Structure formats: C-alpha cells, structure tokens
Amino acid sequence: MKKKLSLLFLIGIILQNVLITSCKKDEDKTTPNGAASGEITDTRDGKVYKWRKIKDQTWFVENLNYVTSDSWTYDGSASNGDLYGRLYTWQDALYACPNGWHVPNDNEWNTLFIGLGVNPTEVDNIGWMGSDQGLQLRATSGWENGNGNNSSGFNALPGGWRYTNGEFAHLGVSAVWWSASDSSDMKAFTRGLGHEINKVYREYDYKWMGYSVRCIKD
C-alpha cells in the first residue's frame, strides 16, 4: 500500500510540474526564436498593440494609432489608420505613446540598427546605410515590389507621409518614423525604409511634417 501511495504521489508531482511549465510558456508568450512578445491595451482609447523584444529593446510591432490634435490617417481613411497608424507632427508625436512607452530617440534607433547589423560607424550618418536591414524590418506583405522577410519581427508597413501642405504621398512604398531627437529648432531626425532598397536611412525634416510613430518601452 505504501509503495502504491508513493508511486501515486510521485506521478502527481510530475503532472504538476508539467502543468506549471506549460502554463509558464503560455504566460511568457515566447516566439519561436525565443524573443518575448505580447500585447498591451492603451487605456486612453482601448486600442490593442502588439509588442516584441528585439535584442535588448522592446518595441511596438505596429504603428501608433492614437488620435491627437495634429495627427491624421492617410487620406482621412479610418481603414488606413487601422493598418498603418496615424501620421503625426513631431511635437504631437513626442507625447502620443501610451504610459510606459515613448518615442525612441536617436540613440535608441541606433541601437536597433546596430543590433540588426549596421556598422556602428555609419549610424550617425545622413542618408542610406547598412546592407539588408530594410529587408529584415519590412513586413512580408503590403509593400509594392519590395516585401521584406521580417526576420527582426519589426513588421514595418509602408504608411507613407503627409506634407506640410496637407498632401499625402508614398503609401505602399515608404515608411518613415520620427525620432524624439531634434536636429534644430525647426527640424528633427527620422528613420525610414523604401520598397526597392534593402538598406535603412537616417534623415531630418521639418517638425510639422506628418510621419509615423513606433513606441519603445521605457
């Protein structure tokens, strides 16, 4: 009898450990390559965003779609907002991310690019840099003649931009995001991708242009 009880007790412990391990895996929401991922709900409007840990940083893997006074959906289309997020002026972008998240500064963008293989000596340059980092960042669908492999998990989509005169351009072919770092009183740095080149770029532009926002965890 004692042997049977001991055996049942041992089986119970094994099953308990299996159950705990299984539950822990579900809670961690790990992706196949081991990088943590999940979702957060923006308590301001109830929108849900996916996030992913890329190297040592945690990024949204979709563009922000929170309404501010100086932000727009491409061509005023709600469906474009759902897919590509909104286009923000730099000033509005700075305060648009949910609590616990922020617009990445220039150094944080540099960290992302270097982590994907851009030479550290290049990242402070203006213009195109790297080799295949655009391919790593672009989503596997949604781009005209230039889908990526999304090996980074960043899932970049070509949301285009809004000019200061109110015109929209480059939907389907370009993605540009604000950096929290400005280059002068009138301009701030941006990071971007194109559809027919696998490099990435760093630029600066007028702060009242409309560009996308990606949030990074505090």
Same domain for 94 and 177?
Answer: yes
Same domain for 119 and 167?
Answer: yes
Percent of the chain whose predicted confidence (pLDDT) is above 90: 83
Q: Higher confidence at residue 9 or residue 217?
A: 217
Same domain for 53 and 129?
Answer: yes
| Range of the structural domain that residue 3 is part of | 1-30
CA distance 74 to 71: 10
Same domain for 21 and 101?
Answer: no
Same domain for 98 and 155?
Answer: yes
- On the question of pLDDT at 82 being above 50, the answer is yes
CA angle 81, 82, 88 (to 5 degrees): 35
Query: Phi and psi (nearest 5°) for 52?
Result: -155, 145
- What pLDDT does 170 receive? 99
Same domain for 18 and 98?
Answer: no
Contact 118, 193 (CB under 8 A): no
Same domain for 164 and 82?
Answer: yes
Same domain for 20 and 61?
Answer: no
The average confidence (pLDDT) of the chain is 89
What are the tokens at 154? 């960043």
**Count: domains in the chain:** 2
Same domain for 46 and 84?
Answer: yes
Of the candidates 175, 179, 209, which has an alpha carbon nearest to the alpha carbon of residue 192? 175
- Please report the sign of the dihedral spanned by the C-alpha atoms of residue 49, residue 155, residue 108, residue 28: positive
Average pLDDT for 139-146? 96
DSSP type of residue 75: G
Same domain for 20 and 128?
Answer: no
CA distance 70 to 184: 20
Same domain for 86 and 63?
Answer: yes
Q: Higher confidence at residue 184 or residue 27?
A: 184
Same domain for 172 and 80?
Answer: yes
Quote the pTM value. Answer: 0.84
What's the pLDDT band for 13 if we cut at 50, 70, 90? very low
Average pLDDT for 129-142? 98
- On the question of pLDDT at 5 being above 80, the answer is no
